[in-house]
Amino acid sequence: MKAIDMRHIYGNKKYRGRWVAMKSHQDLEIVAYDHTLKGVLGKSAKKGIPHPAVLEIPDKILPIIGGYRIVE
Amino acid sequence: MTFSYQRITSQISRPILPIILRSNTKFVAYWGLVDSGSDYCVFDQEIAETLGVRLSKEEKVNIKGVSGKSIEGKFGILVLKIGDKNYKVKAVFAKIGKFNHGILGTKGFFDQFDVKLSYRKRTIEVNRSPQVN
């Protein structure tokens, strides 16, 4: 099975630091992007996609080593 | 259910699942990283605001990433849908924007499913498991 190729989304500089909305989990065409989730959902709804699949693209794409931990 | 890894860059592929997060009246289609190193599921705080998830005022946690920077997280309950399975999850909500997708951890994910990852095949096999305490 091939990995789902998201490089066109993560690699596009205009999406860095923004929420992006894709048509669905299966159709990864970008329909909107914005600084906030509320904003991107609003833009997507105006384009006739009220329930897009959303993702926040980080400013920099860096490898993850370990996760978060709860501290006192 | 078998899902594919996501190719993030030419060097990085991650086990990220399509998920639906729901409250009583709203839902958001989102993505979650399968992370056996996380004890809880963690989602962005903006998701809670959008869905109207009530966050606990008493039950707060400070979460520290490898950067050493601490962020505040609050517990909230929502419905998580993976494949055709819907179930309630008590998750941590925090400003994890830089992390960019949710985290599917032990409580709320691994206690619901048997999971088999194959990086070589780029597959994530997720099968319902009996409820464990």
Contact flag A51-B10 (C-beta cutoff 8 Å): no
The pLDDT tens digits of the residues spanning B87-114 come to: 999 999 988 766 668 999 999 999 999 9
What number is the ipTM of this complex? 0.87
Burial of B69 (0-12, 13-18, 19+ CB in 10 A): exposed
Task: Work out the angle at residue B91's Cα, subtended by the Cα atoms of residues B85 and B97, and round it to the nearest 5 degrees.
Answer: 105
Q: Which of residues 36-65 of A touch B (CB under 8 A)?
A: 36-38, 41, 51-59, 61, 63-65
- Cα separation of the two ends of chain A: 43
B 62-91 residues with CB below 8 A of A?
62-66, 70-71, 73
Contact A9, A15 (CB under 8 A): yes
Tell me the whole-structure pTM to 2 decimals: 0.89
Cα distance between residue B120 and residue B115, in whole Å: 15
pLDDT, one tens digit per residue, over A10-24 is: 999 999 999 999 999
User: Under an 8 A CB cutoff, do B9 and A7 touch?
Assistant: yes
